């Protein structure tokens, strides 16, 4: 009968016992017997993979078993086994540099050495290194998350700098992952950055997700959002979610094992085009900062295993009124992916699910139905001084950025009440920023009896790109 001595912090998990006698021939067998009798001890002695925690040491009598036969060390009847966790100091897997760096964490009982080690062993996957991914990655790195995977294949653009704080002016034109990895290494060289310069899709998502404990979704499109949700459900990972638009944001933690998933909340994506993207509708630069930091907070809490996460709650943020509201989310018993009878049991074609091909087909049908002119044609018409009316259907704040001086400015939403400003007798060219809104305007005008009306393909943005490089782009 060997005797196991328990340290004070572990005694509450063993009914207060200071020592326990077990029948066991080796250290490993003695520990198994111990946790079989006191299951609460298991998480203190073993990690999630069933390995003995590296910050718990075991002594056979007065010898550290690491210098004997490790867990295979034999125990005789009269031997004692002492469990010695590192409580004060002696942090085996944090270097002195790390202890100084994280001192503000280490002095809080809610984190401490144990919590900091959990952060160091945590593996977090960030989907996207944009507006949300930037503050997320910065704070996760600063907090000491050991491994941060990032999926992104974009290049840093001027228009990113208004909110994507991972990047500076000198990064414009560089791959985001390259710039992000450099910035993160500068913040905290202890962090391992794993870059995935690829588009996340059904063929690679499960394989990538399996390598991580927590997934943080910072994407800006519906196909990827459903893909991330389903891949998280199928691999059992928590999905730390946030989304943003103009002045409003949402955040939650979707984790099918503990609560609802994204599909429980939104069974189906909105029809393509109904919900504008940030590129079309804009976003207050600070908003992804606010929401990305909420994502980082939830991620760190999950890694520490402490606090109340946003599982089952949808946080709504309105930055204009600075109001935070909270809605209760319920698991949908008929959810197609996390319900008891799922019909989605493997990843599907998310572009198709979100109607993207239909949208493309509709756009093609539109472009064949709606007469267009190119920016080169428009230039030739202007150069020749042809008689035609150029109509700008963008919003007033867009006119202020750039415009054709001679254009008639009628925002799309006000076109019906401004028809009297146009004549069916005139040759008309309609434009907007990219060509989408003006196509709707052309359709509307044709329905209203205008025949000589054409859409400027690619809008004023293409004009700025191909004809007039002095014109600002936005
Ligand atoms: Zn669900």
Distance 225 CA to ligand 1 centre (A): 13
The residue from 232, 261, 264, 432 that is catalytic is 432
The distance of Cα 165 from the centroid of its chain, to the nearest Å, equals: 15
Q: Per residue of the chain (474 residues), what is the pLDDT tens digit?
A: 889 988 777 887 888 888 899 999 999 999 999 999 999 888 888 888 888 877 788 889 888 888 888 889 999 988 989 887 764 433 347 888 999 999 999 999 889 999 999 999 999 999 999 999 999 999 999 999 999 999 999 999 999 999 999 999 999 999 999 999 999 999 999 999 999 999 999 999 999 999 999 999 999 888 999 999 999 999 999 999 999 988 999 999 999 999 999 999 998 887 766 666 667 678 899 999 999 999 999 999 999 999 999 999 999 999 999 999 999 999 999 999 999 999 999 998 888 888 765 545 445 445 557 889 999 999 999 999 999 999 999 999 899 899 999 999 999 999 999 999 999 899 999 999 998 889 989 988 988 889 899 999 999 999 999 999 999 999
The residue from 232, 264, 278, 338 that is catalytic is 278
CATH code, residues 2-85: 3.10.20.30
Distance 322 CA to ligand 1 centre (A): 30
User: Smallest Cα–Cα separation from 98: which of 116, 86, 85?
Assistant: 116
Distance 139 CA to ligand 1 centre (A): 29
Angle at 432 between CA 428 and CA 437, to 5 degrees: 95
Distance 265 CA to ligand 1 centre (A): 7
Question: What distance in Å separates the CA atoms of residue 354 and residue 328, rounded to the nearest whole number?
Answer: 26
Question: What distance in Å separates the CA atoms of residue 459 and residue 188, rounded to the nearest whole number?
Answer: 44
Q: Other CB atoms closer than 10 Å to residue 369's CB: what's the count?
A: 11
The distance of Cα 273 from the centroid of its chain, to the nearest Å, equals: 22
Note the pLDDT of residue 92.
43
Phi, psi of 327 (to 5 degrees): -115, 145
Question: What distance in Å separates the CA atoms of residue 320 and residue 381, rounded to the nearest whole number?
Answer: 44
Give the SS3 label for residue 124. Answer: strand
Note the pLDDT of residue 272.
66
Distance 261 CA to ligand 1 centre (A): 4
Distance 263 CA to ligand 1 centre (A): 5
Which pTM does this prediction carry? 0.65
Question: What distance in Å separates the CA atoms of residue 176 and residue 159, rounded to the nearest whole number?
Answer: 13
Distance 83 CA to ligand 1 centre (A): 43
Give yes or no: 232 in active site. no
Show contacts of 321-330: CB within 8 Å, 24+ apart: 329/252, 329/259, 329/260, 329/264, 329/265, 330/260, 330/264
Distance 256 CA to ligand 1 centre (A): 6
Eight-state DSSP code of residue 53: P
- Residue matched to tokens 């899709």: 201
The domain defined by 370-466 folds into: Oxidized Rhodanese; domain 1 (3.40.250)
Residue 267 exposed, middle or buried by CB count within 10 Å (0-12, 13-18, 19+): exposed
Token pair listed for 62: 């007065």
Residue 248 β-bridge partners: 245, 318
Give the SS3 label for residue 384. Answer: coil
Token pair listed for 444: 């509307």
Give yes or no: 264 in active site. no
Give the SS3 label for residue 329. Answer: coil
Note the pLDDT of residue 361.
47
CATH code, residues 122-358: 3.40.50.720
List the chain domain ranges. Answer: 2-85, 122-358, 370-466
């Amino acid at each position: 009968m060997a005797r196991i001595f328990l340290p004070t912090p572990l005694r509450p998990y063993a009914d207060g016992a200071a020592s326990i006698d077990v029948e066991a021939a080796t250290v490993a067998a003695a520990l198994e017997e111990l946790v079989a009798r006191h299951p609460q001890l298991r998480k203190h002695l073993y990690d999630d993979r069933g390995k003995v925690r590296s910050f718990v040491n075991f002594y056979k009598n007065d010898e550290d078993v690491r210098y004997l036969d490790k867990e295979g060390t034999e125990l005789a009847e009269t031997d004692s086994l002492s469990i010695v966790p590192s409580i004060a100091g002696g942090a085996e897997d944090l270097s002195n540099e790390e202890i100084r760096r994280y001192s503000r964490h280490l002095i809080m009982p809610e984190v401490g050495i144990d919590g900091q080690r959990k952060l160091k062993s945590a593996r977090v996957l960030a989907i996207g290194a944009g507006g949300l991914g930037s503050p997320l990655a910065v704070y996760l790195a600063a907090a000491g998350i050991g491994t941060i995977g990032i999926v992104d294949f974009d290049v840093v653009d001027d228009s990113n700098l208004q909110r994507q704080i991972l990047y500076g002016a000198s990064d414009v034109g560089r791959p985001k992952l390259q710039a992000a990895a450099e910035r993160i290494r500068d913040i905290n060289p202890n962090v391992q950055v794993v870059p995935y310069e690829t588009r996340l899709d059904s063929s690679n998502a499960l394989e990538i997700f399996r390598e991580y404990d927590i997934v943080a979704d910072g994407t800006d499109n519906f196909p990827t959002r459903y893909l991330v949700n389903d891949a998280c459900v199928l691999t059992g990972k928590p999905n730390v979610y946030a989304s943003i638009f103009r002045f409003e944001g949402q955040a939650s933690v979707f984790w099918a094992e503990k609560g609802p998933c994204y599909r429980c909340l939104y069974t189906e994506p909105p029809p393509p085009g109904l919900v504008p993207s940030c590129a079309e509708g804009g976003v207050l630069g600070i908003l992804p900062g606010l929401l990305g930091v909420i994502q980082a907070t939830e991620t760190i809490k999950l890694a520490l295993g402490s606090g109340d996460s946003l599982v089952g709650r949808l946080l709504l943020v309105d930055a204009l009124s600075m109001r935070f509201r909270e809605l209760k989310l319920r698991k949908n018993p008929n959810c197609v992916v996390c319900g008891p009878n799922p019909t989605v049991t493997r990843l599907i074609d998310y572009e198709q699910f979100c109607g993207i091909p239909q949208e493309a087909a509709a756009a093609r049908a539109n472009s064949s139905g709606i007469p267009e002119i190119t920016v080169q044609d428009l230039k030739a018409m202007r150069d020749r001084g042809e008689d035609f009316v150029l109509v700008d259907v963008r919003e007033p704040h867009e006119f202020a950025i750039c415009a054709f001086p001679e254009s008639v400015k009628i925002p799309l939403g006000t076109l019906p009440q401004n028809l009297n400003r146009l004549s069916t007798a005139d040759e008309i060219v309609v434009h907007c920023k990219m060509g989408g809104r003006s196509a709707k305007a052309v359709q509307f005008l044709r329905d209203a009896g205008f025949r000589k009306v054409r859409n400027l393909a690619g809008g004023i943005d293409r004009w700025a790109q191909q004809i007039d490089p002095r014109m600002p782009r936005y």
